[in-house]
Amino acid sequence: DAGVTQSPTHLIKTRGQQVTLRCSPKSGHDTVSWYQQALGQGPQFIFQYYEEEERQRGNFPDRFSGHQFPNYSSELNVNALLLGDSALYLCASSFGTGSEKLFFGSGTQLSVL
Amino acid sequence: QQPVQSPQAVILREGEDAVINCSSSKALYSVHWYRQKHGEAPVFLMILLKGGEQKGHEKISASFNEKKQQSSLYLTASQLSYSGTYFCGTKTTLGAAQKLVFGQGTRLTINP
């Protein structure tokens, strides 16, 4: 049983570019949440997707957008990259939006130069 | 609002005990504990839902003091495998889809 998978594992971009990160949830899960984790900090909630809609959003600008597909996989898009966007981006899946237990992927390490 | 964890870092010898605290300025509905090893995904440890509730996971247990709005994670007779960064996450209501807010983490190092 595959857990949460994210791609790519590492990415290097330059300021102003756009990036797309991908996430496949654990089998049987229908909800995907995205977190940003800066070095030495705890994960910060970006948004959550359920039934192909954004259900909750954290304090992130509109440059951060997402999508969920019918197979429950999800993408995180970041436009007009800033140096401060450099971080580990974690995807977490769960069954239902109220589930208390999250399963995390290993993340995508994004470096913005 | 982000919960505050203390201490920020702990260094122990194998077999010693440790306590990690998580405090919130808001009333809490639940506290969630995760452990993240370097370069790996955070892994769920346990959830505490009621005031005064205690839970255990092997030699790792936790308590939740609803009145004090804080939770403590207890690691007994620590093993090398316990090394990693521990995060508490909090929710203030039961509402579906409420986001989990994580603390800044406590780095635990266990030496032989």
The pairing of beta strand A108-112 with beta strand A10-13: parallel
Return the pLDDT at B76: 92
Q: How many helices (H) and strands (E) does chain A have?
A: 0, 11
**With contacts defined as CB-CB under 8 Å, which chain B residues touch A97?**
96-97
- pLDDT band per the 50, 70, 90 thresholds, residue B94: low
The predicted-structure confidence for B31-88, as pLDDT tens digits, reads as follows 999 999 988 999 999 888 865 566 666 789 998 888 888 999 999 999 999 999 999 9
Helix, strand or coil, per DSSP, at residue A84: helix
Q: Does A90 touch chain B (CB under 8 A)?
A: yes
A28: left (phi over 0), alpha (psi -120 to 50) or beta: left
Would you state the pLDDT for residue B57? 67
Which sign, positive or negative, has the C-alpha torsion B22, A32, A63, A82?
A: positive
Tens digit of each residue's pLDDT (9 = 90 or more) over A67-83: 999 999 999 999 999 99
Q: At B29, is the secondary structure helix, strand, or coil?
A: coil
Chain A: residue whose CA lies nearest to B48: A100
- Quote the percentage of chain A above a pLDDT of 70: 97
The sign one gets for the Cα dihedral B78, B80, B84, B90 is: negative
Sign of CA dihedral B46, B51, B6, A111: positive
Please indicate whether, in this complex, the C-beta atoms of A98 and B97 are within 8 angstroms of each other: yes
Name chain B contacts of A24, Cβ cutoff 8 Å.
none
List chain B residues with CB under 8 Å of A100.
Answer: 30, 32, 47, 49
Q: Would you state the pLDDT for residue A1?
A: 65
